[in-house]
Amino acid sequence: MSAPFDLNDDSVVVIVGSGAGGGTLGTELALKGIKVVILEAGQRHNMEDFVNNEWESFSQLAWTDMRTTSGSWRVHKNFPNLPAWIVKAVGGSSVHWAGASLRFQEHEFKTRTTYGDIDGANLLDWPITLAELEPWYAKAEDRMGVTRTNGIPGLPGNNNFKVFEAGAKKIGYQEVSTGRMAINSEPRADRGSCQQIGFCFQGCKSGAKWSTLIAEIPRGEATGNLEVRPQSMVQKIEHDASGKVTGVVYVDKDGKTQRQKARIVAVAGNSIESPRLLLNSASNMFPDGLANSSGQVGRNYMRHMTGSVYGIFEKPVHMYRGTTMAGIVRDEARNDTKRGFAGGYEMETLSLGVPFMAAFLDPGGWGRSFTSAMDGYVNMAGLWIVGEDMPQETNRVTLNTDVKDQYGLPVANVHFDDHPNDVAMRNHAYSRGAAIYDSVGAVRTFPTPPYPSTHNLGTNRMSEKARDGVVNKHGQTHDIPNLFISDGSQFTTGGAENPTLTIVALALRQADFIAGEMSRKTI
């Protein structure tokens, strides 16, 4: 039972965005008895409505509102208006995530201390440690039903994994498994087990994969304390003369402008929209945007060092059958500068269908070199590399005042250049990925460039000191006590791991903090 709250109810917590951060925070607060309104820009779909067709699903789910790009990254050349492949729908990008649920390593919370002063990198230690986050990781793993935790067995390996596993073991990797996945390997929490459908990126039609859409928000709504308003695009956060936020202005599903009052506002629109909203909320009191006294809002945009390696074999693999991200090699995730770079990376299996393979294998490529690779599709195995990239102040989300969205607001421009450390790590990962496949008889391998970003991080980063970042260790903005950031834009640095588990752990921890502060009436 969802609870419609009045627009003038200034006792509610308003959350902007319903993904891994916002959907979890809203649900957890509702379970604690706190009234919550989640404003979600996208529509609400049922899992039965998801489509096993890549382009059709892209039309259904992807965030395709206008954005612009700049910088030397190849995404700018090939996909100038699609910097990120993320979701605009209730559940946010938890609808299309792969499910990999990894904890950060201890040193990844202390990168400035561990890696030192790397030229051009704006490294900073997180204001929290692994030890502080461990109980919240444990809570998140239980809640999400992560395999290989809480006694939950690992998923069975599909064909793509078997090739990957055989190659990885042959070249000496030790930490090879079907990973820790928020996909049920057996029925749990009223959701069934994985049917090996594939199409994890297109929304799980069986409900085996955790998302806030199916696993969190309905629980929150059942309390009567949570209302989710889909197709509600927040334009601006408002504040009073004392500098505290008072609510948000949004455009509702009928195109009408509404004003929802709030006791607390939490922003969880992913690392492009969240800083954009803070910047678009500039006022006389906050001329550079809300919570931006440090000048760090929108800066330090990270997208993980990524890339893919596909290998073609003499015989069929059918890599697309079953779990999209079906296994992992963790041996390269450590920090070992003997490899020529700081930080580390994971290798995780990945597959694309024919339509997306054509679009992403070598964007812009054509001719027989390209098509002979496509001709080998059925014999192909694939892996994705995901590693820590260096935060750089110049990698940045800014407002592009020359280009307006459908509401007349400046769109986000995403500027990105690789750091030399990112390039060195990617080249290392390409060669190791190719070695995995070569060792089990690949005929050809392809180092495939990064796709539009799925892991968008760092643009409202967490810092101990107000001058270094946007939020404190609880995601509370340094400047405005009742304004929070609840998504991956809080990340001080990115780690090598897929970010969702950390986003959920931080959201659960933040819910605890907010509830405590509310009961103490400090906010």
Secondary structure E strands in 17-107: 36-39, 68-70
- List 158, 270, 413, 502, residue binding other proteins (CB under 8 A): 158
CB atoms < 10 A from the CB of 377, how many? 20
- Is residue 99 a contact residue for other proteins (CB under 8 A)? no
In the list 139, 259, 321, 444, the residue contacting other proteins (rule: CB under 8 A) is 321
Considering the complex, what minimum distance in angstroms separates the CB of residue 296 from other proteins? 37
Q: Are 350 and 383 in contact (CB under 8 A)?
A: yes
Q: What is the 3-state secondary structure (H, E, C) of 468-494?
A: CCCECCCCEECCCCCEEECCHHHCCCC
Give the chain's largest Cα–Cα span.
Answer: 70
Stretch that binds other proteins, among 53-61, 144-152, 417-425, 487-495 (CB under 8 A): 53-61
- Smallest separation, CB 371 to other proteins (Å): 5
| 397 touches 67 (CB < 8 A) | no
**Smaller CB distance to other proteins: residue 178 or 477?**
178
Closest approach of Cβ 361 to other proteins, in Å?
10
Binder to other proteins among 256, 315, 520, 521 (CB under 8 A)? 315
Structure tokens that stand for 178 in this block: 């079907």
Is residue 439 near other proteins by the rule CB under 8 A? no
Residue of the chain from 31, 171, 378, 466 that contacts other proteins (CB under 8 A): 378
Q: Which span (29-37, 50-58, 236-244, 293-301) binds other proteins, by CB under 8 A?
A: 50-58
Residue 199 tokens, joined? 């199409």
Size of the site for other proteins (CB under 8 A): 46
The candidate with the shortest Cα–Cα distance to 294, out of 485, 496, 495, is 485
User: Which residue carries 């629980």 as its tokens?
Assistant: 219
Q: For other proteins, which is the closer residue by CB, 82 or 266?
A: 82
Contact positions with other proteins (CB under 8 A) in 500-519 = none
Kind and range of the H or E element at 415?
strand 410-415
* Out of 124, 358, 436, 485, the residue judged to bind other proteins by CB under 8 A: 358
Distance CA 155, CA 151 (A): 12
Q: Does 355 bind other proteins (CB under 8 A)?
A: yes
**Exposed/middle/buried for residue 184 (C-beta within 10 Å: 0-12, 13-18, 19+):** buried
Q: How far is CA 259 from CA 25, 236, 292, 316, 408, in A?
A: 22, 10, 23, 57, 17
Distance in Å, CB of 195 to other proteins, minimum: 3
Residue selected from 350, 440, 503, 511 as contacting other proteins according to rule CB under 8 A: 440
316 binds other proteins (CB under 8 A): yes
Instruction: Please answer whether residues 294 and 393 qualify as being in contact, where contact means their C-beta atoms are separated by less than 8 angstroms.
Output: no
Residue 200 CB, nearest approach to other proteins (Å) = 11
Least distance to other proteins, CB of residue 403, Å: 20
SS (H, E, C) 174-202: CCEECCCECECCCCECCECCCCCCCCHHH
Q: Is the Cβ of residue 26 or residue 157 nearer to other proteins in the bound state?
A: 157
Q: How far is the CB of 408 from other proteins (least distance, A)?
A: 26
Q: How far apart are CA 309 and CA 436, in angstroms?
A: 10
**Smallest separation, CB 315 to other proteins (Å):** 5
Q: Which of 165, 199, 461, 457 is nearest to 305 (CA)?
A: 457
Considering only residues 113 to 132 of the shown chain, the ones binding other proteins according to CB under 8 A are none
- Comparing CB distances to other proteins, the nearer of 172 and 367 is 367
| Binding range to other proteins, per CB under 8 A, among 92-100, 290-298, 348-356, 445-453 | 348-356
With b for 16 or more beta-carbon neighbours within 10 A and e for fewer, the 395-422 pattern comes to bbbbbbeeeebeeebbbbbbbbebbebb
Tell me: does residue 370 bind other proteins (CB under 8 A): yes
CB of 436: closest distance to other proteins in angstroms? 13
Q: Is 322 in the site for other proteins (CB under 8 A)?
A: yes
**CB of residue 431 vs other proteins: minimum separation in angstroms?**
22
The torsion defined by the Cα of 440, 442, 446 and 447, in degrees rounded to 10, comes to: 20
Distance of alpha carbon 426 from alpha carbon 383, whole angstroms: 13
Considering beta carbons, is residue 280 or 379 the nearer one to other proteins?
Answer: 379
Question: Nearest distance from residue 311's CB to other proteins, in Å?
Answer: 13
Site for other proteins in 178-237 (CB under 8 A): 194-199, 205-206
The site map against other proteins for 393-432 (x = CB under 8 A) is: ----------------------------------------
Q: How far is CA 101 from the centre of its chain?
A: 12
146 and 314 Cβ atoms separated by less than 8 Å: no
User: 420, 430 in Cβ contact below 8 A?
Assistant: no
Considering the rule CB under 8 A, would residue 374 count as an interface residue with other proteins?
yes
Q: Is 53 in the site for other proteins (CB under 8 A)?
A: yes
CA–CA gap between residue 450 and residue 383 (Å, rounded)? 12
Chain residues binding other proteins by CB under 8 A are 51-55, 156-159, 162-163, 166, 194-199, 205-206, 314-318, 320-322, 353-355, 357-359, 364, 366-368, 370-371, 374-375, 377-379, 440
